[in-house]
A and B are shown apart, each in its own frame.
Chain A
Amino acid sequence: RKEVEQDPGPFNVPEGATVAFNCTYSNSASQSFFWYRQDCRKEPKLLMSVYSSGNEDGRFTAQLNRASQYISLLIRDSKLSDSATYLCSTSGNTPLVFGKGTRLSVIA
C-alpha cells in the first residue's frame, strides 16, 4: 500500500462549484498533515496545514480523520485560478511524503 494515496482526477468543475478531495495515508504514526498546491511546471507551495480539529482559510477547509486515516480538502466557490494540482502530504516518524496529486480544472 502506498504511503499517501489520492484520486488523480482530473476534476473538471464549473466556476462557483464546491469540490472536495480526499487523501488516505498508511502510516498511523503520521503526525503532521499538509495540502500543497502545484501549478504546471512550478514547485509545490503550501496551501494549508491540517490540524486535528480541522481548519478553514477563506474558501478552503481541511479536515483530518485519524481513525480512518484520511484528510480532506474542500474548496468552495471555485475560481478559475484554483486550477492546479493539489498534493496531500504527511510526516511524523517518517520524512515528508506526498501523494501523486489531484488535478483540478475550473471551467468558465
Chain B
Amino acid sequence: DTGVSQDPRHKITKRGQNVTFRCDPISEHNRLYWYRQTLGQGPEFLTYFQNEAQLEKSRLLSDRFSAERPKGSFSTLEIQRTEQGDSAMYLCASSSTEMNTEAFFGQGTRLTVV
C-alpha cells in the first residue's frame, strides 16, 4: 500500500497520560500535515513539515502538543498530559510542493481520552 499510513487507528487513554501517533507519508511527498477533526467540523490545521523542517507550529493547540519529522520521512505527533478535550480524530496528510497538487490523507487516529 503506497498511501498515507497512520498508526494506531484507535487509541483510548486515561487523562494525564501521554500519547504518540505516527504518520508515514507517501514516499515521494516532502510535505506532511497534521490536522485535528472533531464531529461536525472540518480538519483543523495543527502543523506541517517540508522535509524535516517544521514550517508552522504556532497553531498547535497548546504546548502539550508537539510534532517531529526527524529524517524527513515519517512524523510523530505527541500529546502530553492528555485532557478529555483532546478526544478527536487526528489526521495526517502529505503532498508534493508543486502547485495545484492535492494532499492525500491517511485514515486517521481516533483518540478517546477517558
Asked if A98 contacts B100 (CB within 8 A), the reply is no
Residue with the highest number of chain B CB atoms closer than 10 Å, among A4, A31, A32, A44: A44
Given A46-B102, A49-B100, A49-B102: A100 and B42 within 8 A (CB)? yes
Asked if B56 contacts A99 (CB within 8 A), the reply is no
Residue with the highest number of chain A CB atoms closer than 10 Å, among B33, B101, B103: B103
Asked if A96 contacts B41 (CB within 8 A), the reply is no
| Residue B95 is within 8 A (CB to CB) of chain A in the complex | yes
| Residue A21 is within 8 A (CB to CB) of chain B in the complex | no
What residues of chain B lie closer than 8 Å to A32, measured between beta carbons?
99-101
> Which residues of B approach A to under 8 Å, CB–CB?
33, 35, 40-45, 48, 55-56, 91, 93, 95, 99-108
Asked if A43 contacts B105 (CB within 8 A), the reply is yes
Considering the complex, give the chain A residue whose CB is closest to the CB of B100.
Answer: A32
Q: Which 4 A-B pairs have the closest CB atoms?
A: A43-B105, A98-B42, A46-B102, A100-B42
Asked if A95 contacts B33 (CB within 8 A), the reply is yes
Instruction: Give, as a whole number of angstroms, the nearest-CB distance from B105 to chain A.
Output: 4
Asked if A95 contacts B93 (CB within 8 A), the reply is no
What residues of chain B lie closer than 8 Å to A49, measured between beta carbons?
100, 102
| Residue A71 is within 8 A (CB to CB) of chain B in the complex | no
**CA distance in complex: A6, B42 (Å):** 10
Considering the complex, give the chain A residue whose CB is closest to the CB of B44.
Answer: A98
State which residues 1-37 of A face B: CB under 8 Å.
4, 6, 8, 31-32, 34
Considering the complex, give the chain A residue whose CB is closest to the CB of B107.
Answer: A43
What residues of chain A lie closer than 8 Å to B99, measured between beta carbons?
31-32
Residue in A31, A34, A44, A100 whose CB lies within 8 Å of B41: A100
**CA distance in complex: A96, B104 (Å):** 11
Selected A-B contacts with CB under 8 Å, 7 pairs: A43-B91, A45-B105, A46-B104, A87-B42, A87-B43, A98-B43, A98-B44
What residues of chain B lie closer than 8 Å to A70, measured between beta carbons?
none
Given A43-B107, A96-B33, A96-B93: A51 and B100 within 8 A (CB)? yes
| Residue A97 is within 8 A (CB to CB) of chain B in the complex | yes
Given A49-B100, A49-B102: A99 and B45 within 8 A (CB)? no
